[in-house]
Chain A
């Protein structure tokens, strides 16, 4: 008899996704999309007590696969994915699409199963399943998203292949033990695993799939995508590479560079994709610091980030649904038509900017404090700079150009009730997880963290200095805007590092293709000429009408035969010596 408490909760969600693919009735499908993450959360609660749980060991092809491992680190990711699944399900209730419902569930289930994987081979299976199932959400964006989807798939499959290669090298060096624990860069296969995780996590120069695919996915698809892939990679990094110094600097760079792209980007869903990259940087940096405070900060900020970033993508999705665009140059003044969406977007913007009483204030500050305590001055300076940058792109630019700024004259309907409900719940969580002094406020969030928490976010100096930074940034915006120094939003394609493979690489490949074609044509011509000439010559010599068939004097024939005999004898003599 199968013990259901030995089954990875993610597998139930995957099963629900497979069933969804064959369910023609939309309401039943929607009920399944909503209930599957709730059921998975209940299963996590049933399985996990206070101690680490390891189970679901399967022997296949002579190897043991640990399909279930829940501890304090994976638990918080597990609950978070279930919460995100519920919010996404509510947000997508209006969309009657079998492919979206099915792939959303399989994708979420794969991510959930991935964080509960006890070994690297099981992780690889769900890593790839998450990639393959999620590409359909990109393709649901329409014809223009096809190429992006292909690139997304190629990059993620590459990440999976590197993960598998790293796992094999690591496992063989450990006598066939593939247990997914702390790996470190010194371990065999460590670098391969880090790069595999870095691709999914959006490391600098490996990040472009985020800004390429997310803005082109469907409205619901973008919201779903923002919650799982990068967070699964963050979990893997936290599990395998906590305390690796290189991650501090990678993370710090990740927080800064997207700020410069976001300020010139016109499409606000792409701005949010850069913002996602920027927030991932804070967490990667925290993983690199690796102290209990930093790791708690990472886990807490993952929760906050999934909620506020999901909320911001939701609000832009609602705008997209009603206006057909999220280009800043085409929007403005929508607070007149979409007051609730405006309010929810402002809460999301305030949360990501880390205003007191909103979520990032109690989460991001843990990572900054950890950097301060470790005297990591350069990374800390970069994180502070990035905090002001966050205020620019997500705190001000997204809500201002959408809902305020100049009036675009668009008078549209408010978002559908289900979208408003999902945004309302996400907004509520942004506030609740930051409430001071109550057991269900930030203390509830802190109680779920992997280590004991001894951190108090609401100290007078923290509140005052954070407000100094934020008010100064808003003042700078107002002054620059007043004196016409703030750049206007213009329609354009902003090229990033993906130019190297989308233009340069493609150009080189096309050039090689063209050269190869020309070379083939020339070689074919040369070969044809050579064969033709040789054939003609042979014909002229050996054909019935050829030179060899012509009557020759018998004396000459005798001389030729004698000459050939001499040559044959010489060869035989030389070879026999």
Chain B
């Protein structure tokens, strides 16, 4: 996946220079094309496992079990959680210093000293 140094753009060279040596072979993980195409991996896994469910049916059946039921549960439950985020955020989010205690640690509040040593 990694390109040879002569084929790299200036930005890629800079990224490579600043990265940890162990990360260099994996910099492709941050590329737009990788992120775009990554989704095919879980989709393929999902389809294969759902199909395999026909060959290996569950030993113990729950009342809601049908072909691909766990796939449906995983997809719907995950989506439900994510879709609940919008209204919940509107309902429960307040300013970071809402309680007047300085909020959680971050570069402005942190007491751990210089973290970029």
Show the binding face of A for B, using Cβ within 8 Å: 141-144, 147-148, 215-216, 218-219, 259-261, 263-264, 267, 269-270, 320-327, 330, 333, 335-340, 369, 372-373, 377, 380-381, 384-385, 388-389, 391-392, 404, 407, 411-414, 459-461, 464-480, 482, 485-487, 490-496, 502-503
Contact = CB atoms under 8 A, between A and B. Distances in A.
Given A144-B104, A335-B26, 18 more contacts: A147-B101, A216-B104, A326-B104, A336-B20, A337-B23, A384-B77, A388-B73, A404-B29, A404-B30, A468-B53, A468-B70, A474-B45, A476-B74, A485-B83, A487-B85, A493-B96, A494-B93, A495-B98
Interface of B: 15, 18-20, 22-23, 26-27, 29-30, 36, 38-39, 42-43, 45-46, 49-50, 52-53, 56-60, 62-64, 68, 70-75, 77-79, 81-86, 88-89, 92-99, 101-107, 109-112, 115-117
A459 B55 CA distance: 13
Contacts of B78: 388-389, 391-392, 472-473, 476-477
A381 B36 CA distance: 33
A321 B114 CA distance: 9
A327 B106 contact: yes
A413 B18 CA distance: 10
A464 B49 contact: yes
Nearest to A396: B78
Contacts of A260: 81, 84, 88
Nearest to B117: A413
Contact of A144 (B77, B98, B102): B102
A96 B49 CA distance: 50
Contact of B75 (A264, A377, A473): A473
B81 A259 contact: yes
Nearest to B15: A336
Given A148-B101, A464-B52, A486-B82, A493 B60 contact: no
B44 to A, nearest CB: 8
A491 B29 CA distance: 26
Closest 6 CB pairs of A and B: A142-B111, A472-B74, A478-B39, A388-B77, A324-B115, A144-B102
B95 A471 contact: no
A377 B106 contact: no
26 contacts: A144-B105, A147-B101, A215-B104, A260-B84, A264-B89, A321-B115, A324-B115, A337-B19, A339-B22, A339-B23, A377-B63, A388-B77, A391-B78, A411-B18, A465-B53, A465-B58, A467-B45, A471-B42, A473-B77, A477-B78, A486-B82, A487-B82, A490-B93, A493-B98, A493-B99, A503-B99
